[in-house]
Chain A
Amino acid sequence: MTVAGEPGPPPPRKRNPWRAGQGFWTVAVGVPAVFSVMRLWIEAGGELQTTLLLVANVGPINLMAALFTTATRLVTTGLVAVFALGAVLAVSTAGWPRRRPLFARWYAMSPPWFLAAVFAIALATWQILYLPLLVVAAVAVFQRELAAVEWPRWRWAATIAVALAGYGWLIAPTVLQAWRAGELFAVALLVVPPVLALGVSGPLPRWLVLPAAALAQPGIAVVLLIAAVPVVLTPVLPMTVTTVTTQAGVPEEVRGHVISTDDVNTVILQERGGVRYIDNDDIAARVLCPTSEELVRYRLRVRDFHVEDSLLGALGRRVRPMAPVSAVCRIPT
């Protein structure tokens, strides 16, 4: 309002250069926190009292560690997707007088060490089957750095030829195995990305930049939301089967997650819902059990590494090769 009481022009909108950065860090910190609460809620089967029991017994450190273990893959996927598209949009909008798309700004302000760290974590935690897609993303994200390397054309050609030959040697048996098994999607995931990596760098046609940003940015968000559903459903506590002695003499198996144990009781959140307080004196045995989500979808291996293992997981299996599953885990309870 002016002194004279007449409406004046609206104040200019502040264009804080850190605004996009604040948005990024809000998402980076806020999303895990929201995820953690959502996971506890789902884990409790939607029951308020059970949720409160979980909140009271699952420490924030444990919760964050469990979240890191199970959600690293999703978080790095999100970051890699955002930065890959952002890099393509940034290259395509270089020198634009107007405001660049959001992902391009996030990419532009991310230091190379951060990008490298995201890709390193993704390399270690992504399923081996999806690592070829990481190659495409890496070429897109680091195209500025690659362009700065002043190699003659023949040297680029020779390097790419050697890299493709090595890759072919690495995955040829797996591709053959997948082809024979009729797993065409797996074949596509292994074969197509390296070809796409050759063409993914560089600017988009000018007329395509704005539609691409308008479609791809929300598109990535939607796909990440779909991919987040299994992560939200993943339990926070390990699955166990507890054998409880009964007065009838026939032992009873209780399948569920141990919430807490004190001097008197063990509190178990049952798989099918409901909380059981079991007298410690009645507990005969307890075993750790896998869940059906851990069963594999593919029967393919890349040089003896299962394609659904991460590099980190596959290396871990070399340290502890046996993964005995107790027979009790198969009993329906």
Chain B
Amino acid sequence: MTETSGRPRWRPLLTATAVTLTMLLAGAAACGPKGNAPKTVDDLFKKTDVYGQPKIKIGVAEDQPLMGQIVNGRFEGFDIEIARYLAESLGFKGDSRIEWVPLQTEDRENALVSGQVHLVVASYSMTPDREKEIDFAGPYFATKQELLIRTTDRDKIRNLNDLAQPGRETCVVGGSTGERQFTDRALKVYPAATNRECLERLLSGKSHAYSTDETILAGYLSEHPKDLFIVDVPIGANERLGVGVSKQDPELRDLVAFFLRKSYDTGRTTSTSPWLAAYRRTLGPWLGDDTTQPPIDAPDLVDYDEKAPKP
């Protein structure tokens, strides 16, 4: 390797070049390249409106069993579990750090635009119309619109055509995406203010059917398993539920998407994740175990667990 006898005359020059280049490379490494660093979770978090706030304000539904409702003074449901996971990921651990803001369906956009809430996690369908006013992070759930009827009507109402008969009325929540599916088919609808109003109209016999996302219907079915029945008919396309965020806070939207994506990745590789845990505790027993978190586009951010082995 290094015997000096019989060496070509250019060999010392090669050594000098190699030593010089090594020292330059090592010197540059010691000083450390600073530019072009990847975006971190902390970078984005410091730019959000929630940074430095004592509590995060989250808009939720309070009348949707299995999704978002108050039980014994405490919010419970799938949306609530997802909201708690997102809040905790953002540094707001525990309900003492969360201000739950009950919202009606038609108030959700206004609450975000006016700054009343930072996030809305309330069975919020991602639609182009809404995306003109607010941003969505998601989807975190893919659901479809179905029909809820009284068990006694099982033989009478089997599809949408059965609702076209005179005198039959379907209740929908005003302003919800489901309303248009019925008005477009010239079916008689009753636009209620809340989901609970629709349920009461259905139970009392004023409405013959109640249509909305299967997640909400599953909640009411869980409350009245003997009196109600879900008709599995296709109504429109699948609904994608997302987390609503103000357009003024794109960093918060990116962070929420990042944490939802993190849950999705964990669930795919380990068969357990915050999303799966929330689903199994709430919707799972009523919708079945075959539902999984839908894939989601999210920014690639660096966090403190970056060096951990990839599962």
Using a CB–CB cutoff of 8 Å, the interface residues on chain A facing chain B are: 77, 81, 84-85, 88, 91, 130, 133, 136-137, 140, 143-144, 146-147, 149, 156, 182-183, 185, 188-189, 192-193, 196-206, 208, 212, 216, 219-220, 223-224, 226-227, 250-251, 290, 292, 294-297, 299, 301, 304, 306, 308-309, 313-314, 317-318, 321-332
Contacts and interface: CB of A to CB of B under 8 A. Distances in A.
A109 B36 CA distance: 44
Given A147-B3, A202-B7, A330 B42 contact: yes
A309 B305 CA distance: 12
B296 interface: no
A330 to B, nearest CB: 3
A185 B28 contact: yes
A313 B89 contact: no
Contact of B12 (A140, A202, A251): A202
Nearest to A137: B22
A185 B33 contact: yes
Which of B2, B31, B42, B92: most chain A Cβ within 10 A?
B2
Nearest to A88: B19
Interface string B14-33: 11111101110111111111
A193 B309 contact: no
B4 interface: yes
Nearest to A144: B2
Interface residues of B, number: 54
A331 B93 CA distance: 10
Contacts of A292: 42
Contacts of B19: 85, 88, 140, 200, 204, 212
A208 to B, nearest CB: 6
Contacts of A81: 26
Interface string B65-91: 000000000000000000000001111
Given A185-B28, A205-B16, A325 B305 contact: yes
Given A199-B17, A223-B27, A325 B4 contact: no
B233 interface: no
Contacts of B2: 91, 143-144, 146-147, 201-202
B183 interface: no
A188 B30 contact: no
Interface string B34-49: 0011101110010000
B307 A308 contact: yes
B190 interface: no
B30 A329 contact: no
A330 B96 CA distance: 16
A294 to B, nearest CB: 6
A227 B25 contact: no
Given A193-B22, A295-B302, A325-B303, A182 B15 contact: no
28 contacts: A133-B26, A136-B18, A146-B2, A156-B1, A185-B28, A193-B22, A196-B21, A196-B25, A199-B18, A200-B19, A202-B7, A202-B15, A204-B19, A219-B23, A224-B30, A226-B30, A251-B96, A295-B302, A296-B302, A299-B300, A304-B310, A314-B307, A317-B308, A323-B305, A327-B89, A328-B91, A329-B91, A332-B51
Given A196-B21, A199-B17, A325-B303, A330 B309 contact: no
Contacts of B51: 332
Contacts of A323: 304-305, 307-308
Contacts of B32: 297
Given A143-B2, A323-B305, A327-B90, A204 B25 contact: no
Contacts of B31: 223, 226-227
B290 interface: no
Contacts of B88: 327
Nearest to B9: A205
Given A216-B23, A314-B307, A323-B305, 6 more contacts: A136-B18, A189-B25, A212-B19, A226-B30, A330-B90, A330-B91
Given A317-B308, A330-B45, A203 B21 contact: no
B29 A133 contact: yes
